[in-house]
Amino acid sequence: MKFHIMTLFPQIIEAYMSESIMKKAEEKGNIEYKTWNIRDYSESKHKKVDDYPYGGGAGMVMTPQPIVSCYNAVVDDLDESLKQDKKPKVIYLTPKGKVFNNDMAIALAKEESLILLCGHYEGVDQRVIDLIVDEEISIGDYVLTGGELPALILIDSISRHVKGVLGHEESLDEESFTNGLLEYPHYTRPEVFMEKEVPKVLLSGHHKNIESWRKLESIKLTMKLRPDLFDYEALSKEDKKLLKKHNVIDK
Ligand code: ADE
């Protein structure tokens, strides 16, 4: 998976990508990324990238020319095979977009490459969206000062679903949002901390009991913290039985 990030602040992207798991993923060759500084493509004398909005109003709008020229440079840089009929999707990060979730991360991880466009100020001229953008994505119902953090959130969550990035892919099956449930609680050493004990079942070595306990906790946690996610009918027969046995639900 290769990410192309079009931004006015490439260093924000570089800072995050050069640490921890993203750094390792790049070193191992599981992901690639390249930042493109939109300002470099401005044809104006002072490398201007924004202007006042037509019709008046607060704030500035990013002008179309530097962004579209930057996009053309990204496309020019693509492998021949991609340039022809597999042009990467262009995603514009905006609070107006579709709210991002785990299923979208999983779907986007199947793409060969993606182009992420980060806005600033009041956003980009609408004609940029009409001309080059395929999808508008928001990371939540709040407004940030720019699209760099949202782009990094997409890159991070998408990369986790790219083979080899985590190195323990099986843990993806159990984590939150897989099967519509939150993940069960985790414990590590010591067995007792500030008088609080690790649940006995986890020390028992009895795999079936541990599995049942984790499933039950996962379901209870989802019902309590994210009732909007919980779908009783989507549970398996065994899970429904488990709930009844532990008096979580009396259906
Ligand atoms: N840019 C500013 N706020 C944003 C948000 N919530 N999601 C995506 N991009 C943004």
Q: Check whether residue 109 and residue 219 sit in a common domain.
A: no
Please give the backbone phi and psi of residue 8, each rounded to the nearest 5 degrees, phi first. Answer: -90, -10
Supply the range of the domain harboring residue 56.
2-169
Q: Looking at the domain assignment, is residue 251 inside a domain?
A: no
Q: Where among 127, 154, 169 does a domain terminate?
A: 169
Show the tokens assigned to 133. Answer: 């953008």
Q: What is the pLDDT of residue 35?
A: 98
Q: Check whether residue 232 and residue 158 sit in a common domain.
A: no
Q: What is the pLDDT of residue 177?
A: 87
Q: What is the pLDDT of residues 85-111, one digit of tens each?
A: 889 999 999 999 999 999 999 999 999
Evaluate: CB of 10 within 6 angstroms of ligand 1: no
Dist. CA 20–CA 195, nearest whole Å? 33
pTM, two decimals, is: 0.96
Q: Where among 169, 202, 233 does a domain terminate?
A: 169
Q: How far is the CA of 98 from the centre of ligand 1 (A)?
A: 11
Q: What is the pLDDT of residue 150?
A: 98
Q: Check whether residue 193 and residue 240 sit in a common domain.
A: yes
Q: How far is the CA of 5 from the centre of ligand 1 (A)?
A: 15
Q: What is the pLDDT of residues 114-159, one digit of tens each?
A: 999 999 989 999 999 999 999 999 999 999 999 999 999 999 999 9
Q: How far is the CA of 145 from the centre of ligand 1 (A)?
A: 8
Q: Check whether residue 93 and residue 158 sit in a common domain.
A: yes
CATH code for the domain of 117: 3.40.1280.10
Q: Check whether residue 91 and residue 199 sit in a common domain.
A: no
Count: domains in the chain: 2
Q: Check whether residue 46 and residue 113 sit in a common domain.
A: yes
**Residue 144 marked ligand-binding:** yes
**In testing the pocket of ligand 1, which one of 96, 99, 117, 144 has its CB within 8 Å of the most ligand atoms?**
144
Q: Looking at the domain assignment, is residue 146 inside a domain?
A: yes
**Residue 16 marked ligand-binding:** no
Q: Looking at the domain assignment, is residue 250 inside a domain?
A: no
Q: What is the pLDDT of residue 162?
A: 96
CATH code for the domain of 183: 1.10.1270.20
Q: Ligand 1: which residue has its CA nearest to atom 7?
A: 138
Q: Residue 139: count other Cβ atoms within 10 Å of its Cβ.
A: 21
Q: Check whether residue 180 and residue 73 sit in a common domain.
A: no
| Alpha-carbon torsion angle 39, 108, 15, 143, nearest 10 | 70
Show the tokens assigned to 233. Answer: 């009918």
